[in-house]
Amino acid sequence: ALAAPVVMLMWLPWVLEYMEIRLPFFSASLDNAALCVLVPQVLASILCWPVFRAAVEGFRSGTWSVHATALLSTAVTLLDEATLMLLPERSDASPLGGIAAVLSLLCLWALRSFHRGMAETFRTAAMGAPSQVAACCEHGVARGAGSGRGFYTRACMEDTASQWQRLLLPVLAAASLVFAVLSSMGQERSQDFLWCWSVVLCASSSLVFPMAFSVPYGRVAYHLSRSGAAVAGMYGASAFAGDRRLTVTDTDLFPPGAASLAGIKLYGEEQNHAISYAATLTIQGGGLLGRLFQDASRHNRVALQSLEHFHVHEDGGLGGMIRGETVLVGTPGFMRRQAVHMPPGFNSRTAVCLAVDGELTAVFNVKYAAAEPVEYALRILRRNGFKLVPVMRDGSIVPKFLKARFGWDGGGEPPDIGERLALSDPEREAEGPEGLLYRDGLLPYAFLAVDSRRLCQTVLVGNLLSIFSSIAGALLGFYLTFTGSYTVLTPVLLMTFLLLWTAPMLPLVWTVDKA
């Protein structure tokens, strides 16, 4: 907040001069212009001291980051401005301290965003045991029970942008020094050494470097924390973005209040007895039907029965022995496959049937409603290219039903019955964790996957832009200084070159947390 106005004030005279508006003191001589740059750059450097401290800490650990490049650019441009008046034979090229100041300002922004993201992530992780842990498995991203053990280590792992910077930036810094020597001393213009060095150094210091990971990560971490979720840094985001499949259960698609028992039709059976039998099997089976019939048994004050030989069929039906009677619960299609006689013309897709000893005894009508958060979560998942792997325990919720209810069937193939039961078990121990969830429901889960994928896309584009722009800038700066094309190496034109590479990155940064 303080450094930005200072940097803008530093650039104001250059912009006005480029617009052919002459300023009394600034336009009088190059020495005056250098002084007008030197003073605000020193002030901006003081305000950006966290960047230089991060560079020194990187030196102590043996790494070179964009903060070190900002420190070197600032030092070289300040030396060039300070010695300009002491070198009478120096060319009349303008100093480039404004570009170094912009780089330092962006590094400060990135540093602040990164620390904000880490603070939000660990503040969320410090809330206690998560309600669920998200991690990747062979069927895609899945959730389960677990703790935050290992989350801190994964969140602190180095991101890909830092890895590229650690490899590329020292080479560019060394190349800038070599190119400066060749362009100045190699051309018998030793008095222009500092200026040539500042040109190549600033041209190769892409402004995308600070925004490649730190800024989008800070926005993503803040957005996820407001949703009751946290991702384990670049490590967790890469894991979620690598597999675009999400396992979803029937309780995800129909949370409490979105489904209810709308009525019951009896066939020679007493109502409470039918509810008791159906509730005994469905509660044992779990999932959405277990929740609905548990609520129904409580509302009607019906006791559950003793259950023996419980079995879950491949097509979602439930079977078991109660008081020596064979009891089946499932869809009408399941009943027909079990040789249970159904009334003629009966074709309800949302009915739950109860059969005792092969005879239909009750039909429960289930009303499914689309909850607004679920519809929104499905829209953003579909829009971002994810597929749903259904691990349903309710046999009525099939792809055709999802297509009719939500306009999208998820696009994923359900696993076999054993995997479905395991993945839909809330007590299943999840590996990882790559992500933590402190709120139930599909929306925080969707935000975790979508934001992670957007973060990885933004980092990938940022890495490509920063690598190509820095290499192109180094070569271009060397060519122009070596050939003595000083007239095109003005601060405004060089900054325009850097901003053109930065322009494609800005929309990605601002929309990384917009699902």
Q: Which residues contact 30 (CB under 8 A, 6 or more apart)?
A: 84, 92, 94
Closest CA to 469 of 500, 508, 510: 500
List pLDDT tens digits, range 206-242: 999 999 999 999 999 999 999 999 999 999 999 998 8
Write the DSSP symbol of residue 25. Answer: T
Residue 424 has pLDDT above 90, yes or no: no
Q: For residue 149, what pLDDT is reported? A: 86
Mean pLDDT of the chain: 90
Label residue 496 by pLDDT band (50, 70, 90).
Answer: very high
Q: Residue 507, exposed/middle/buried by CB under 10 A (0-12, 13-18, 19+)?
A: exposed
Q: For residue 21, what pLDDT is reported? A: 84
* DSSP line for 318-331: EEEEETTEEEEEE-
Strands (DSSP E) found in 117-159: 132-137, 140-144
Does a cis peptide bond (omega within 30 degrees of 0) precede residue 170?
no
Q: Can you read off the two tokens belonging to residue 19?
A: 């617009």
Mean per-residue pLDDT, 364-393: 91
Mean per-residue pLDDT, 480-501: 91
Q: For residue 346, what pLDDT is reported? A: 79
Mean per-residue pLDDT, 413-435: 85
Q: For residue 329, what pLDDT is reported? A: 93
Residue 463 has pLDDT above 90, yes or no: yes
Mean per-residue pLDDT, 316-330: 90
Helix H or strand E encompassing 388: strand 387-390
Mean per-residue pLDDT, 399-410: 88
Residue 23 has pLDDT above 90, yes or no: no
Label residue 450 by pLDDT band (50, 70, 90).
Answer: very high
Residue 394 has pLDDT above 90, yes or no: no
Label residue 194 by pLDDT band (50, 70, 90).
Answer: very high
* Count of H-run helices and E-run strands, the chain: 20, 12
Top-confidence residue, 456 or 138 = 456
Mean per-residue pLDDT, 504-510: 93
Task: Phi first, then psi: give them for residue 446, nearest 5 degrees.
Answer: -65, -40
Mean per-residue pLDDT, 99-106: 95
Residue 85 has pLDDT above 90, yes or no: no
Label residue 470 by pLDDT band (50, 70, 90).
Answer: very high
Label residue 268 by pLDDT band (50, 70, 90).
Answer: confident
What SS3 state is found at 462? helix
- What share of the chain has pLDDT > 90, as a percent? 57
Q: Which residues contact 273 (CB under 8 A, 6 or more apart)?
A: none
Write the DSSP symbol of residue 488. Answer: G
Q: For residue 34, what pLDDT is reported? A: 86
Residue 315 has pLDDT above 80, yes or no: no
Closest CA to 379 of 356, 341, 408, 404: 408
Mean per-residue pLDDT, 473-499: 92
Residue 515 has pLDDT above 80, yes or no: no
- What share of the chain has pLDDT > 70, as a percent? 100
Closest CA to 310 of 290, 283, 281: 281
Q: For residue 204, what pLDDT is reported? A: 94
Mean per-residue pLDDT, 268-296: 90
Label residue 395 by pLDDT band (50, 70, 90).
Answer: confident
